[in-house]
Amino acid sequence: MEIKNIRLGGILLPSNILMAPLAGYTCYPFRLMAYELGAGLCFTEMASANALKYQDRATKRLLFTTDKEPVKAVQLLGGIPAVMERMASSPLLEEFDIIDINMGCPVPNVFKSGEGSALMLDQPRAAAIIRGCKKSGKAVTVKCRTGIAKDNMFAAEFARMCEDAGADMITIHGRSRSMMYDGACCYEEIAQAKAAVSIPVIANGGIFSGEDARVMMERTGADGVMIARYGLENPFIFSELTKKPVRKSMGQLILEQLKLASSCYDETFTMAYIRKLASYGMKKRKGTKKYKQLLYQCGSLEELRELVEAIFMEGAHIVPDQPCLSPAPAPTAAQMQ
């Protein structure tokens, strides 16, 4: 598997292993960690252009960044060209280098509103959104799917439209909208899209190991791969693929995330984020259910820090004395875009 730089206009990405935007997870601390481990590009959580238009406080929080982030990329969701153009050039996004347009979210309420993967059915409108965002002067990328249904695949055609409208890169999730996140990836559709355009094409979907990433690259000929949920379970996948030496344990990474998150966000957000991240990090450990119970019983950041230290110590064995207060949720379909 070839690890290489990718150029987006005047931006040179350090590697072709990208981290997908995941709602509730790819906050500023996580993006810094992924970059440190070798990711070439990380995106903010999906931000709604309409919410930003109305100065929604929670949505604005998604845009937190600092100069420590080497490349700043925001994923924007919206279906109205004028609103997308206005938000792309707004002061809210002035710190960002790249705007990624979500044209792949399959969630019903997003699709029904004419956003996400619904834009694949309206290519003139999708093209107008790309052209409008390009007026910001930023690099513009698109994340889409192979099509709408198994019998309605048109990734190559859609990729050509994106390139013609001015997109600098396209990421293709190797499943149709109707497939959601199940079923085998459609490698051939991504390969056809790659052959149809000259801009970089990134392959996404169904990557849960380094071998999966290598197969994806070989089968599609893509310029790079985008890791999604597996990046939460094993953030070291970036260093494994890029051969970047890293001398930290999963426990150390999570403790660093806790410290950084608590300096950027309030206690409620930090505790929710670290609980979810730790739940993913211990996925392959014995007694995971018991550990998760304790995670959700913590009442303060200090308790959470001490528990993370205990859980990730070699040979740690903890037995909860109370029932679980709340389950550790996996990302929903909306979060995985």
Q: Which residues are catalytic?
A: 105
CB 175 within 8 A of CB 201: no
Strands 41-42 and 139-145: unpaired
Write the DSSP assignment of 133-175 as a string of letters.
Answer: HHTTSSEEEEEEESEEETTEE-HHHHHHHHHHHT-SEEEEESS
Residue 244 exposed, middle or buried by CB count within 10 Å (0-12, 13-18, 19+): middle
Alpha-carbon distance values, 7 to 38, 71, 203 (Å): 16, 12, 16
Residue 172 exposed, middle or buried by CB count within 10 Å (0-12, 13-18, 19+): buried
**Which 8-state DSSP code applies to residue 65?**
-
Cα angle: 278, vertex 279, 281; to 5 degrees: 60
User: Any idea which residue has 């109205």 for tokens?
Assistant: 80
Q: Which of 280, 297, 270 is nearest to 227 (CA)?
A: 280
Alpha-carbon distance values, 147 to 45, 117, 168 (Å): 23, 8, 20
| CB crowding 159-170: b at 16 or more within 10 Å, else e | bbbbbebbbbbb
Q: Which helix (H) or strand (E) holds 260?
A: helix 250-264
Nearest-angstrom CA–CA distance, 273 and 279? 10
